[in-house]
Amino acid sequence: MTQQENFQAFLTDWLPQLDEALAKAGKSVSERPMEAARLIVDELIVDIKGDTKDNYLQKSWFASIFLTVQDWYKKRYGIGQVHPKRNVHGVVKHFGAFYLLGIPLTVSKPQSDGTCWLTFAKDVLPEEDATTWILNGPSLDGLRPKQVATLRREATKTATHIRGIANDLMTADVADDADRAMIASVLRHLGKAAADMCALDHESASLAVWDLHMACEKVIKAYLTQESVVYQLTHDLRELNRLASAKHDWSVVKSALCGFPSETRVMQWRYQEIGAPSAEELWRFYGVAMQVCSTYASRMTRKWTFNNFSVHLKKPPWLDGEALIRD
| Distance from C-alpha of 267 to C-alpha of 210, rounded to nearest angstrom | 7
pLDDT top residue among 3 and 323: 3
Most confidently modeled range among 46-50, 69-73, 113-117: 69-73
Query: What pLDDT was estimated at residue 177?
Result: 84
Query: What pLDDT was estimated at residue 322?
Result: 60
| Residue 272 banded pLDDT, cuts 50, 70, 90 | very high
Residue 31 in this model has a pLDDT that exceeds 90: yes
- Mean pLDDT of the residues in the chain: 90
- Predicted TM-score (pTM) of the model is 0.83
Please state, in angstroms and as integers, the Cα–Cα distance from residue 300 to each residue in 79, 281, 304, following that order. 37, 29, 11
Query: What pLDDT was estimated at residue 82?
Result: 86
Q: Are the CB atoms for 194 and 289 separated by under 8 Å? A: no
Average pLDDT score over residue span 299-327: 76
**210-250: pLDDT as tens digits:** 999 999 999 999 999 999 998 888 899 999 999 998 889 99
**282-299: pLDDT as tens digits:** 999 999 999 999 999 999
Average pLDDT score over residue span 176-203: 92
Average pLDDT score over residue span 140-165: 94
| Distance from C-alpha of 271 to C-alpha of 260, rounded to nearest angstrom | 18
pLDDT top residue among 33 and 4: 33
| Distance from C-alpha of 31 to C-alpha of 83, rounded to nearest angstrom | 9
| Residue 35 banded pLDDT, cuts 50, 70, 90 | very high
**89-143: pLDDT as tens digits:** 999 999 889 999 999 999 988 888 878 888 999 999 999 999 999 998 888 888 9
Query: What pLDDT was estimated at residue 324?
Result: 46
Reduced to 3 states (helix: H, G, I; strand: E, B; else coil), residue 139 is: coil
Taking CB atoms within 8 Å and a gap of at least 24, the contacts of 32-39 are 32/73, 33/66, 33/69, 33/70, 33/73, 33/82, 34/66, 34/318, 36/69, 36/73, 37/62, 37/65, 37/66, 37/69, 37/70, 37/318
| Residue 8 banded pLDDT, cuts 50, 70, 90 | confident
Q: Are the CB atoms for 169 and 219 separated by under 8 Å? A: yes
pLDDT top residue among 318 and 227: 227
Neighbours of 147 (CB within 10 A): 14
| Distance from C-alpha of 172 to C-alpha of 11, rounded to nearest angstrom | 43
Average pLDDT score over residue span 189-214: 95
